[in-house]
Amino acid sequence: MKAVRIHKFGSKDALKLETVPIPEVGESEVLVRVNAAGINPVDTYIREGSFAVLPTLPAILGKEAAGVVEKVGDGVQGLKEGDRVFTCLPDNGGYAEYVTCKKNYVFPLSERLSFSQGAGLYVPYFTAYRALVIKCRIKPGEVLLIHGASGAVGIAALQLAKACGVSVVGTAGTLEGMELVKSLGADFVFNHKEKGYLNNAVAAIGGQGFNVVLENLANINLGADLTVLNQQARVAVRIPVVGSRGSVEVNPRSLMLTESTIIGVKLMGNTEEEHLEAAGVILKGIEDGWVKPIIAREYALEEASQAHHDIIHNKGARGKLVFKV
Ligand SMILES: NC(=O)c1ccc[n+]([C@@H]2O[C@H](COP(=O)([O-])OP(=O)(O)OC[C@H]3O[C@@H](n4cnc5c(N)ncnc54)[C@H](OP(=O)(O)O)[C@@H]3O)[C@@H](O)[C@H]2O)c1
Protein backbone atom coordinates (compact mmCIF):
# COMPACT_ATOMS: atom_id res chain seq x y z
CA MET A 1 0.00 0.00 0.00
CA LYS A 2 0.98 3.66 -0.37
CA ALA A 3 1.77 5.48 2.88
CA VAL A 4 3.43 8.71 3.96
CA ARG A 5 6.15 7.86 6.47
CA ILE A 6 8.94 9.60 8.33
CA HIS A 7 12.28 7.87 8.97
CA LYS A 8 13.65 10.77 11.02
CA PHE A 9 12.17 13.76 12.79
CA GLY A 10 12.62 16.99 10.87
CA SER A 11 11.26 19.41 8.29
CA LYS A 12 8.36 18.71 5.96
CA ASP A 13 10.88 17.12 3.58
CA ALA A 14 11.08 14.22 6.04
CA LEU A 15 7.65 13.10 4.75
CA LYS A 16 8.20 10.27 2.24
CA LEU A 17 5.54 8.61 0.09
CA GLU A 18 6.48 4.91 0.09
CA THR A 19 5.13 1.46 -0.63
CA VAL A 20 4.82 -0.61 2.53
CA PRO A 21 3.00 -3.85 3.48
CA ILE A 22 -0.69 -3.66 4.43
CA PRO A 23 -0.81 -4.04 8.24
CA GLU A 24 -2.03 -7.32 9.76
CA VAL A 25 -5.29 -7.04 11.68
CA GLY A 26 -5.10 -8.07 15.36
CA GLU A 27 -7.82 -9.93 17.25
CA SER A 28 -9.47 -6.78 18.65
CA GLU A 29 -8.73 -4.61 15.63
CA VAL A 30 -10.34 -3.50 12.39
CA LEU A 31 -8.50 -3.05 9.08
CA VAL A 32 -9.87 -0.03 7.21
CA ARG A 33 -9.37 0.84 3.55
CA VAL A 34 -8.78 4.59 3.93
CA ASN A 35 -10.66 7.02 1.67
CA ALA A 36 -9.68 10.19 3.52
CA ALA A 37 -7.27 11.06 6.32
CA GLY A 38 -7.34 14.15 8.54
CA ILE A 39 -4.36 16.52 8.64
CA ASN A 40 -3.75 18.16 12.02
CA PRO A 41 -1.25 20.63 13.49
CA VAL A 42 -0.16 17.87 15.89
CA ASP A 43 1.07 15.81 12.91
CA THR A 44 3.61 18.55 12.23
CA TYR A 45 4.73 18.68 15.87
CA ILE A 46 5.26 14.89 15.75
CA ARG A 47 7.08 15.15 12.41
CA GLU A 48 9.43 17.76 13.91
CA GLY A 49 10.01 15.61 16.99
CA SER A 50 8.74 18.37 19.29
CA PHE A 51 5.57 16.62 20.56
CA ALA A 52 5.48 15.03 24.02
CA VAL A 53 4.60 11.56 22.69
CA LEU A 54 6.63 10.40 19.70
CA PRO A 55 6.22 7.21 17.65
CA THR A 56 8.90 4.64 16.97
CA LEU A 57 10.48 5.28 13.56
CA PRO A 58 9.78 4.75 10.76
CA ALA A 59 6.25 5.93 11.38
CA ILE A 60 3.12 6.64 9.38
CA LEU A 61 1.54 9.88 10.67
CA GLY A 62 -2.14 10.74 10.87
CA LYS A 63 -4.52 10.71 13.85
CA GLU A 64 -7.84 10.21 12.05
CA ALA A 65 -9.24 8.63 8.92
CA ALA A 66 -12.44 7.44 7.27
CA GLY A 67 -13.06 4.63 4.84
CA VAL A 68 -14.49 1.15 4.48
CA VAL A 69 -13.93 -1.92 6.65
CA GLU A 70 -11.66 -4.39 4.84
CA LYS A 71 -11.36 -7.01 7.57
CA VAL A 72 -12.28 -7.43 11.26
CA GLY A 73 -10.40 -9.36 13.94
CA ASP A 74 -12.08 -12.38 15.58
CA GLY A 75 -12.81 -10.37 18.74
CA VAL A 76 -14.70 -7.56 16.99
CA GLN A 77 -18.49 -7.48 16.90
CA GLY A 78 -20.88 -5.04 15.23
CA LEU A 79 -18.71 -4.20 12.22
CA LYS A 80 -18.27 -6.13 8.98
CA GLU A 81 -16.44 -5.93 5.68
CA GLY A 82 -17.80 -3.10 3.52
CA ASP A 83 -19.12 -0.91 6.38
CA ARG A 84 -18.42 2.83 6.08
CA VAL A 85 -16.50 3.92 9.19
CA PHE A 86 -14.46 6.70 10.74
CA THR A 87 -11.48 5.96 12.93
CA CYS A 88 -9.66 7.53 15.86
CA LEU A 89 -5.93 6.90 15.69
CA PRO A 90 -4.22 8.03 18.91
CA ASP A 91 -1.19 5.97 17.82
CA ASN A 92 -1.13 7.52 14.30
CA GLY A 93 -1.23 5.70 10.95
CA GLY A 94 -3.89 7.55 8.93
CA TYR A 95 -1.71 8.79 6.04
CA ALA A 96 -2.00 5.48 4.18
CA GLU A 97 -4.25 3.36 2.00
CA TYR A 98 -4.98 1.00 4.91
CA VAL A 99 -4.88 1.37 8.67
CA THR A 100 -5.65 -0.90 11.60
CA CYS A 101 -7.39 0.46 14.68
CA LYS A 102 -8.65 -0.81 18.01
CA LYS A 103 -12.33 -1.79 18.02
CA ASN A 104 -13.48 1.01 20.37
CA TYR A 105 -11.81 3.51 18.09
CA VAL A 106 -13.80 2.68 14.93
CA PHE A 107 -17.37 3.96 14.49
CA PRO A 108 -19.98 3.71 11.73
CA LEU A 109 -19.89 6.66 9.34
CA SER A 110 -23.37 7.91 8.51
CA GLU A 111 -24.33 8.41 4.85
CA ARG A 112 -24.99 12.02 5.92
CA LEU A 113 -21.24 12.65 5.90
CA SER A 114 -18.64 12.21 3.15
CA PHE A 115 -15.42 10.29 3.81
CA SER A 116 -13.55 13.62 3.95
CA GLN A 117 -15.94 14.85 6.65
CA GLY A 118 -15.52 11.52 8.46
CA ALA A 119 -11.78 12.15 8.49
CA GLY A 120 -12.41 15.36 10.43
CA LEU A 121 -14.39 13.95 13.33
CA TYR A 122 -11.90 12.59 15.83
CA VAL A 123 -9.37 15.33 16.57
CA PRO A 124 -11.67 18.37 16.23
CA TYR A 125 -14.92 17.05 17.71
CA PHE A 126 -13.56 14.81 20.48
CA THR A 127 -11.26 17.69 21.50
CA ALA A 128 -14.10 20.22 21.49
CA TYR A 129 -16.20 17.80 23.57
CA ARG A 130 -13.36 17.27 26.04
CA ALA A 131 -12.79 21.02 26.36
CA LEU A 132 -16.37 22.23 26.68
CA VAL A 133 -18.26 19.33 28.24
CA ILE A 134 -15.81 17.08 30.10
CA LYS A 135 -13.45 19.77 31.40
CA CYS A 136 -15.75 22.86 31.54
CA ARG A 137 -19.25 21.39 32.09
CA ILE A 138 -20.59 24.22 29.94
CA LYS A 139 -24.27 25.03 30.55
CA PRO A 140 -27.13 26.36 28.40
CA GLY A 141 -27.31 30.14 28.65
CA GLU A 142 -23.57 30.59 29.24
CA VAL A 143 -21.64 32.86 26.90
CA LEU A 144 -18.60 31.39 25.17
CA LEU A 145 -15.78 33.09 23.29
CA ILE A 146 -14.05 30.81 20.77
CA HIS A 147 -10.70 32.38 19.99
CA GLY A 148 -10.02 30.93 16.54
CA ALA A 149 -13.46 29.70 15.48
CA SER A 150 -12.67 29.29 11.77
CA GLY A 151 -10.36 26.27 12.13
CA ALA A 152 -11.23 22.62 12.60
CA VAL A 153 -11.45 22.61 16.42
CA GLY A 154 -13.13 26.03 16.52
CA ILE A 155 -15.89 24.93 14.12
CA ALA A 156 -16.47 21.72 16.09
CA ALA A 157 -16.64 23.74 19.33
CA LEU A 158 -19.06 26.22 17.74
CA GLN A 159 -21.40 23.47 16.51
CA LEU A 160 -21.24 21.67 19.88
CA ALA A 161 -21.83 24.85 21.88
CA LYS A 162 -24.83 25.88 19.80
CA ALA A 163 -26.28 22.37 20.19
CA CYS A 164 -25.87 22.81 23.97
CA GLY A 165 -27.81 26.11 24.01
CA VAL A 166 -24.72 28.27 24.59
CA SER A 167 -24.29 31.79 23.13
CA VAL A 168 -21.14 31.95 21.04
CA VAL A 169 -18.83 34.73 19.93
CA GLY A 170 -16.26 33.45 17.45
CA THR A 171 -13.15 35.01 15.98
CA ALA A 172 -11.46 34.54 12.60
CA GLY A 173 -8.62 36.31 10.83
CA THR A 174 -10.21 36.91 7.42
CA LEU A 175 -13.53 38.03 6.00
CA GLU A 176 -14.10 34.56 4.49
CA GLY A 177 -13.41 32.92 7.84
CA MET A 178 -15.73 35.37 9.61
CA GLU A 179 -18.51 34.69 7.10
CA LEU A 180 -18.10 30.95 7.62
CA VAL A 181 -18.24 31.28 11.42
CA LYS A 182 -21.35 33.45 11.17
CA SER A 183 -23.02 31.02 8.74
CA LEU A 184 -22.44 28.20 11.24
CA GLY A 185 -24.52 29.98 13.85
CA ALA A 186 -22.17 32.17 15.89
CA ASP A 187 -24.12 34.96 17.56
CA PHE A 188 -21.31 37.44 16.85
CA VAL A 189 -18.05 37.24 14.91
CA PHE A 190 -14.96 39.43 15.22
CA ASN A 191 -11.64 39.59 13.40
CA HIS A 192 -8.78 38.70 15.76
CA LYS A 193 -6.44 40.79 13.58
CA GLU A 194 -8.37 44.02 14.21
CA LYS A 195 -7.42 46.42 16.98
CA GLY A 196 -9.97 46.55 19.81
CA TYR A 197 -11.87 43.45 18.68
CA LEU A 198 -12.07 42.01 22.22
CA ASN A 199 -13.62 45.19 23.60
CA ASN A 200 -16.11 45.09 20.74
CA ALA A 201 -16.85 41.43 21.52
CA VAL A 202 -17.58 42.21 25.18
CA ALA A 203 -19.77 45.16 24.16
CA ALA A 204 -21.71 42.94 21.74
CA ILE A 205 -22.74 40.57 24.55
CA GLY A 206 -23.86 43.40 26.80
CA GLY A 207 -20.60 44.21 28.56
CA GLN A 208 -20.66 41.46 31.19
CA GLY A 209 -17.79 39.33 29.85
CA PHE A 210 -17.55 35.65 29.01
CA ASN A 211 -18.28 32.55 31.11
CA VAL A 212 -15.97 30.36 29.06
CA VAL A 213 -13.11 31.24 26.66
CA LEU A 214 -11.90 28.39 24.45
CA GLU A 215 -8.36 29.30 23.46
CA ASN A 216 -6.75 27.89 20.30
CA LEU A 217 -3.64 30.10 20.39
CA ALA A 218 -2.84 30.71 24.05
CA ASN A 219 0.69 32.00 23.51
CA ILE A 220 -0.83 35.01 21.71
CA ASN A 221 -4.13 35.46 23.52
CA LEU A 222 -4.11 34.13 27.09
CA GLY A 223 -3.15 37.45 28.68
CA ALA A 224 -5.93 39.25 26.80
CA ASP A 225 -8.43 36.47 27.57
CA LEU A 226 -8.09 37.34 31.25
CA THR A 227 -9.44 40.83 30.52
CA VAL A 228 -12.77 39.67 29.06
CA LEU A 229 -14.01 37.39 31.85
CA ASN A 230 -17.43 37.65 33.43
CA GLN A 231 -16.96 39.25 36.87
CA GLN A 232 -20.46 38.42 38.07
CA ALA A 233 -20.75 34.81 36.94
CA ARG A 234 -22.04 32.47 39.67
CA VAL A 235 -20.11 29.55 38.20
CA ALA A 236 -16.40 30.33 37.97
CA VAL A 237 -15.17 31.36 34.54
CA ARG A 238 -13.32 28.59 32.71
CA ILE A 239 -10.58 29.03 30.11
CA PRO A 240 -9.92 25.75 28.33
CA VAL A 241 -6.56 26.02 26.57
CA VAL A 242 -6.62 23.78 23.50
CA GLY A 243 -3.75 25.20 21.43
CA SER A 244 -0.51 26.98 22.28
CA ARG A 245 2.76 27.39 20.45
CA GLY A 246 4.93 29.09 23.05
CA SER A 247 4.95 31.03 26.30
CA VAL A 248 2.90 34.07 27.27
CA GLU A 249 2.72 36.69 30.01
CA VAL A 250 -0.45 36.89 32.10
CA ASN A 251 -1.63 39.04 35.01
CA PRO A 252 -2.92 36.56 37.62
CA ARG A 253 -4.92 39.30 39.35
CA SER A 254 -7.66 38.95 36.71
CA LEU A 255 -7.95 35.30 37.68
CA MET A 256 -8.43 36.23 41.34
CA LEU A 257 -11.13 38.83 40.61
CA THR A 258 -13.23 36.32 38.68
CA GLU A 259 -12.09 33.15 40.48
CA SER A 260 -11.35 31.83 37.01
CA THR A 261 -9.70 28.57 36.11
CA ILE A 262 -7.31 28.00 33.25
CA ILE A 263 -7.73 24.40 32.15
CA GLY A 264 -5.24 22.53 30.01
CA VAL A 265 -7.00 20.24 27.53
CA LYS A 266 -5.45 17.09 26.08
CA LEU A 267 -7.48 14.94 23.70
CA MET A 268 -5.37 11.93 24.63
CA GLY A 269 -6.34 12.56 28.28
CA ASN A 270 -9.73 10.94 27.63
CA THR A 271 -10.33 7.79 29.65
CA GLU A 272 -11.98 4.92 27.78
CA GLU A 273 -15.36 5.95 29.30
CA GLU A 274 -14.88 9.60 28.34
CA HIS A 275 -13.85 8.56 24.82
CA LEU A 276 -17.01 6.46 24.42
CA GLU A 277 -19.16 9.21 25.99
CA ALA A 278 -17.82 11.72 23.45
CA ALA A 279 -18.33 9.21 20.62
CA GLY A 280 -21.97 8.69 21.67
CA VAL A 281 -22.73 12.41 21.64
CA ILE A 282 -20.93 12.97 18.32
CA LEU A 283 -22.66 10.00 16.63
CA LYS A 284 -26.03 11.34 17.80
CA GLY A 285 -25.01 14.84 16.67
CA ILE A 286 -24.36 13.49 13.17
CA GLU A 287 -27.86 11.99 13.06
CA ASP A 288 -29.40 15.15 14.56
CA GLY A 289 -27.56 17.18 11.92
CA TRP A 290 -25.39 19.53 14.00
CA VAL A 291 -22.09 17.66 13.55
CA LYS A 292 -21.05 18.82 10.08
CA PRO A 293 -17.28 19.10 9.51
CA ILE A 294 -16.37 21.78 6.97
CA ILE A 295 -13.65 20.73 4.53
CA ALA A 296 -11.41 23.59 3.45
CA ARG A 297 -9.10 21.63 1.14
CA GLU A 298 -8.35 18.09 -0.01
CA TYR A 299 -4.78 16.99 -0.85
CA ALA A 300 -3.31 13.89 -2.50
CA LEU A 301 -0.80 11.89 -0.41
CA GLU A 302 1.83 13.09 -2.91
CA GLU A 303 1.20 16.64 -1.58
CA ALA A 304 2.01 15.80 2.05
CA SER A 305 4.82 18.40 2.33
CA GLN A 306 2.55 21.14 1.00
CA ALA A 307 -0.24 20.06 3.35
CA HIS A 308 2.11 20.26 6.35
CA HIS A 309 3.21 23.71 5.27
CA ASP A 310 -0.37 24.90 4.86
CA ILE A 311 -1.74 23.54 8.17
CA ILE A 312 0.75 25.72 10.06
CA HIS A 313 1.33 28.73 7.79
CA ASN A 314 -1.95 29.30 5.93
CA LYS A 315 -3.58 32.53 6.99
CA GLY A 316 -7.34 32.32 6.93
CA ALA A 317 -8.61 28.94 8.11
CA ARG A 318 -11.95 27.79 6.72
CA GLY A 319 -12.27 24.36 8.25
CA LYS A 320 -10.43 21.09 7.91
CA LEU A 321 -7.58 19.93 5.69
CA VAL A 322 -7.67 16.26 4.61
CA PHE A 323 -5.93 13.82 2.30
CA LYS A 324 -8.11 12.10 -0.31
CA VAL A 325 -6.52 8.68 -0.53
N1 LIG B 1 -4.97 20.01 23.22
C2 LIG B 1 -5.35 19.10 22.31
O3 LIG B 1 -5.55 17.92 22.60
C4 LIG B 1 -5.53 19.57 20.89
C5 LIG B 1 -6.34 18.86 20.01
C6 LIG B 1 -6.55 19.39 18.73
C7 LIG B 1 -5.92 20.58 18.36
N8 LIG B 1 -5.11 21.20 19.23
C9 LIG B 1 -4.46 22.49 18.90
O10 LIG B 1 -5.49 23.45 18.75
C11 LIG B 1 -5.12 24.43 17.80
C12 LIG B 1 -6.20 24.54 16.73
O13 LIG B 1 -6.26 23.34 15.98
P14 LIG B 1 -7.07 23.29 14.61
O15 LIG B 1 -6.99 21.92 14.09
O16 LIG B 1 -8.40 23.93 14.76
O17 LIG B 1 -6.16 24.26 13.71
P18 LIG B 1 -6.57 25.11 12.43
O19 LIG B 1 -7.69 24.41 11.71
O20 LIG B 1 -5.32 25.42 11.71
O21 LIG B 1 -7.20 26.46 13.05
C22 LIG B 1 -6.40 27.41 13.69
C23 LIG B 1 -7.32 28.52 14.20
O24 LIG B 1 -6.55 29.47 14.94
C25 LIG B 1 -6.95 30.75 14.47
N26 LIG B 1 -5.98 31.81 14.75
C27 LIG B 1 -4.90 32.21 14.02
N28 LIG B 1 -4.35 33.28 14.60
C29 LIG B 1 -5.10 33.58 15.70
C30 LIG B 1 -5.05 34.59 16.68
N31 LIG B 1 -4.09 35.52 16.71
N32 LIG B 1 -5.99 34.60 17.64
C33 LIG B 1 -6.97 33.66 17.67
N34 LIG B 1 -7.06 32.67 16.77
C35 LIG B 1 -6.13 32.64 15.79
C36 LIG B 1 -7.20 30.55 13.00
O37 LIG B 1 -7.92 31.63 12.45
P38 LIG B 1 -7.51 32.36 11.06
O39 LIG B 1 -6.74 31.38 10.23
O40 LIG B 1 -8.85 32.74 10.49
O41 LIG B 1 -6.68 33.55 11.45
C42 LIG B 1 -8.02 29.27 13.08
O43 LIG B 1 -9.35 29.55 13.43
C44 LIG B 1 -3.75 23.97 17.23
O45 LIG B 1 -2.74 24.66 17.92
C46 LIG B 1 -3.71 22.50 17.58
O47 LIG B 1 -2.39 22.01 17.72
C48 LIG B 1 -4.90 20.72 20.49
Distance 197 CA to ligand 1 centre (A): 18
The confidence score (pLDDT) of residue 5 equals: 98
The Å distance, Cα 151 to ligand 1 centre, comes to: 6
Q: Which amino acid is at 139?
A: K
Residue 15: its pLDDT value, please? 98
pLDDT value of position 258: 87
Give tens-digit pLDDT for 211-258.
999 999 999 999 999 999 999 887 889 999 999 999 999 999 989 988
- Ligand 1 pocket (Cβ < 6 Å) reads 40-42, 123, 127, 147-154, 171-174, 177, 192, 216-217, 220-221, 242-243, 265-267, 311, 315-317
pLDDT for the residue numbered 235: 83
Specify the pLDDT at position 254: 86
What is the CATH architecture of 2-121+293-324?
Alpha-Beta Complex (3.90)
Q: Per-residue pLDDT tens for 7-54?
A: 999 999 999 999 999 999 999 999 999 999 999 999 999 999 999 999
Ligand 1 atom nearest 156 alpha carbon: 16
- Give the mean pLDDT of 261-265: 97
Query: 150-176 pLDDT, tens per residue?
Result: 999 999 999 999 999 999 999 999 999
Distance of CA 153 from the midpoint of ligand 1 (Å) = 7
Atom 25, ligand 1: which residue's CA is nearest?
148
What φ, ψ does residue 78 adopt, rounded to 5°?
A: 85, -5
Q: Where are the domains of the chain?
A: 2-121+293-324, 124-268
CATH number of 124-268: 3.40.50.720
Give the pLDDT score at 114: 98
Ligand 1 atom having least distance to the Cα of 242: 1
The ligand 1 atom nearest the CA atom of 130: 3
- The rounded Å distance from CA 216 to ligand 1 centre is 5
The CA 319 to ligand 1 mean position distance, Å, reads 10
Distance 70 CA to ligand 1 centre (A): 34
Q: CA angle 184-43-124, nearest 5°?
A: 25
pLDDT in tens, 71-128: 999 999 999 999 999 999 999 999 999 999 999 999 999 999 999 999 999 999 999 9
Q: What is the pLDDT of residues 169-202, one digit of tens each?
A: 999 999 999 999 999 999 999 999 999 999 999 9
Q: Which atom of ligand 1 lies nearest, measured to the CA of 127?
A: 5
Distance from first CA to last CA of the chain, Å, rounded? 11
- Structure confidence at residue 257 (pLDDT): 86
Q: What is the pLDDT of residue 53?
A: 96
